[in-house]
Structure 1
Amino acid sequence: MKTNLIQIETTNADDFKNEIINGVITALKHFEEHSKNNSEIILSREEAAKLLSISLVTLWDLTRKDKIPAFRIGNKVRYKKSDVLNALTQKNQF
């Protein structure tokens, strides 16, 4: 595990605050870019159900009703992470 060492000597409170804010903004942008790149991850039924915090039976019911798109690879059912997340956001719209 890499540890970063920060040494504070001659800085005022405003500069220190701005440095922290800029670090947080940079980390959030990196997280956003990383999550966009990972949206095409293929999930198993178990992973999709865990992501949505639902049972496998509920996931199967939503898949059967075409609320969450799925596809088969051989005899296995798989889900695209982006499709699962899109189905979740569509369901939460009032």
Structure 2
Amino acid sequence: MTKQILQIENTNNEDFKNEILLGLEHLLSQYEKNTQNSEKLLTREETAKLLSISLVTLWKYTKNDIIPAFRIGTKVRYKQSDVYNALQKMNEFD
């Protein structure tokens, strides 16, 4: 195993620390943006458990377009945000 040496000149400890912190801040903000775009998909079981309903009731909600579902091959998945939005709509008073 070869040992690598990093030599830094013309900077003090505080400036070096601040540069590292700025780099980390940038990486974390990029990570946050990327994870916000990728939304969690829930299984039928996870969705029913989240709503405290049976799989039959979930099927009825899906059939009646109350909660949109996505088919991936033979699997049915629900976007977490769609589930929360449907729940919010169901609880609105006219």
* Same fold per superposition (TM over 0.5): yes
**Alignment gaps of 5+ in structure 2:** 1-31
What is the SS of the residue equivalent to 1:46? helix
For residues 6-51 of structure 1, the C-alpha deviation after alignment (integer angstroms, 9 at most, x for no partner) is xxxxxxxxxxxxxxxxxxxxxxxxxxx9xxx498210000000000
Corresponding residue number in structure 2 for 1:91: 90
RMSD: 2.1
Cα gap change, 1:61 to 1:55, in 2 (>3 Å): same
Tell me which structure has the larger Cα radius of gyration: 2
**Alignment gaps of 5+ in structure 1:** 1-32
Corresponding residue number in structure 1 for 2:74: 75
Cα gap change, 1:39 to 1:58, in 2 (>3 Å): farther
Which residue identity is paired with 2:44?
Answer: R
Q: Residues of 1 paired with 2:79 and 2:92: CA distance?
A: 21
Count, aligned residues:
60
| Identity rate, percent | 71
Q: Residues of 1 paired with 2:86 and 2:38: CA distance?
A: 13
Higher RCO, Cα 8 Å, sep 6+: 1
TM-score, normalised by the number of residues in structure 2: 0.59
Moved over 6 A (4+): none
Q: Residues of 1 paired with 2:82 and 2:66: CA distance?
A: 10
Corresponding residue number in structure 2 for 1:62: 61
Corresponding residue number in structure 2 for 1:52: 51
Which residue identity is paired with 1:76?
Answer: K
What is the SS of the residue equivalent to 1:72? strand
TM-score, normalised by the number of residues in structure 1: 0.59
CA contact (8 A) 1:68 1:83 kept: yes
